[in-house]
């Protein structure tokens, strides 16, 4: 698909991933982009969804908008995470179908995988078990996009694709301690401790889980490639294929931020999913995406950005 001259609506286009995706689409030559803002269009409401389609008349919809957060936020607001994410995606795809949208690109989450899926997670295993409990409502709500897209393809010949990215990181991430993910949360904790002269850093869990991370610019690249080149019903993992333990991650971030105090593991808090690592071979085979970013260099970039944002002088 030549996307340069298409009218493209990017929900969540002003969010973390969205901003980088919009930049990447502009670099591709796409100049008919519509970025609905939540203040104007509450995409949980059908009337707002219908209005956004009337206003934007999209030929392609890339659905990034989501209510997201770390383990703490998922535990506190499971109903909200389920309802908001389910209603947005379900109504958007149905309205896209009714408006004869040429392609719907649904962005899901690694949280939709079963808690004990074999490592590495292969797309074929996505239904072989229940997701990790702390973020299951969110993961299941997003996974319904896969079911809906496949059903719509079968009945209506609707071109919906489903991408499953790992945890993203990068500059301009969310550093709010109430809703941030592990990398920005740890970076902020380290700088807070340094500023306050604290000698201990409390980290949730026991450090045993592993995670895979993908730089936000690479996620944007993968989405653009898939939008142009992928038109099949099967879901596709988007990741780096680099697995790191939480203990090692904490070491990397403390070293790069300059925090040299004691790490205290709060084992009364949940670990989350035991391991996360994707099989990313399908993305490379189908549309040529492969991560090239060195993880430590990527983390250093985020730390440098955050240090500058806080007006801190590098030690």
- Return the CATH number at 82: 3.40.50.720
| 7 touches 60 (CB < 8 A) | yes
Q: CA-CA distance, 272 to 71, in Å (whole number)?
A: 7
The C-alpha atoms of residue 241 and residue 307 are separated, in whole angstroms, by 28
Q: Give the tens place of pLDDT for each residue, 71-112.
A: 777 788 899 999 999 999 999 999 999 999 999 999 999 999
Give yes or no for residue 315 having a pLDDT over 70: no
d(CA 148, CA 87): 12
**Residue 135 DSSP code:** G
The three-class DSSP label of residue 210 is: strand
pLDDT at 177 over 90: no
Q: Are residues 248 and 146 in the same domain?
A: no
Q: pLDDT tens for residues 9-36? A: 999 999 999 999 999 999 999 999 999 9
Provide the domain limits for residue 202. Answer: 182-208+244-273+294-309
Pairing outcome for strands 243-245 and 210-215: antiparallel
- The owner of tokens 């730390």 is 303
Q: Are residues 22 and 126 in the same domain?
A: yes
156 annotated active-site: no
Same domain as 26, residue 123? yes
| Identified catalytic residue from 83, 113, 130, 138 | 138
Strands (E), the chain: 8-11, 33-34, 60-63, 103-107, 160-165, 167-169, 200-204, 210-215, 236-238, 243-245, 262-266
**Same domain assignment for residues 268 and 216:** no
Residue 200 has pLDDT above 70, yes or no: yes
pLDDT tens-place string over residues 248-266: 999 999 999 999 999 999 9
Is the pLDDT at 161 greater than 70, yes or no? yes
How many domains, in total, are found in the chain? 2
pLDDT the model gives residue 314: 61
Instruction: Please state, rounded to an integer, the average pLDDT across all residues of the chain.
Output: 95
Tell me, rounded to whole angstroms, the distance of Cα 21 from its chain centroid.
12
Q: What is the dihedral of CA 110, 34, 292, 258, to 10 degrees?
A: -80
Are 190 and 239 in a shared domain?
no
CATH of residue 262's domain is 3.90.25.10
């Amino acid at each position: 698909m030549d996307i340069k001259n298409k009218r493209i609506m990017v929900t969540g286009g002003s969010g973390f991933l969205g901003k980088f995706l919009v930049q990447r689409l502009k670099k591709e030559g796409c100049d008919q982009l519509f970025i609905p803002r939540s203040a104007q269009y509450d995409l949980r409401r059908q009337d707002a969804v219908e209005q956004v389609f009337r206003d934007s008349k999209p030929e392609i919809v890339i659905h990034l908008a989501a209510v997201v957060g770390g383990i703490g936020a998922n535990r506190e607001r499971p109903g909200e995470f389920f309802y908001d994410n389910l209603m947005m995606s379900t109504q958007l795809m149905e309205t896209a179908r009714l408006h004869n949208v040429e392609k719907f690109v649904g962005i899901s989450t690694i949280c939709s995988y079963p808690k004990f899926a074999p490592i590495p997670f292969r797309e074929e295993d996505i239904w072989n078990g229940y997701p990790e409990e702390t973020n299951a409502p969110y993961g299941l709500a997003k996974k319904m996009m896969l079911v809906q897209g496949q059903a719509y393809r079968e009945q209506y010949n609707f071109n919906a694709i489903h991408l499953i990215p790992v945890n993203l990181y990068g500059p301009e991430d969310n550093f709010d301690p109430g809703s941030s993910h592990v990398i920005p949360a740890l970076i902020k904790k380290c700088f807070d401790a340094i500023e306050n002269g604290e000698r201990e850093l409390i980290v949730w869990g026991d450090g045993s889980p592993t995670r895979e991370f993908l730089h936000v610019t690479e996620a944007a690249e993968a989405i653009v490639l898939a939008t142009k080149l992928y038109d099949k019903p099967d879901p596709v993992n988007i990741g780096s294929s680099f697995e790191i333990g939480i203990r090692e991650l904490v070491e990397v971030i403390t070293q790069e931020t300059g925090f040299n105090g004691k790490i205290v593991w709060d084992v009364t808090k949940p670990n989350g999913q035991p391991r996360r690592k994707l099989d990313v071979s399908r993305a490379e085979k189908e549309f040529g995406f492969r991560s090239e970013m060195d993880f430590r260099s990527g983390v250093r970039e985020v730390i440098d950005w955050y240090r500058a944002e806080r007006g801190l002088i590098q030690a």
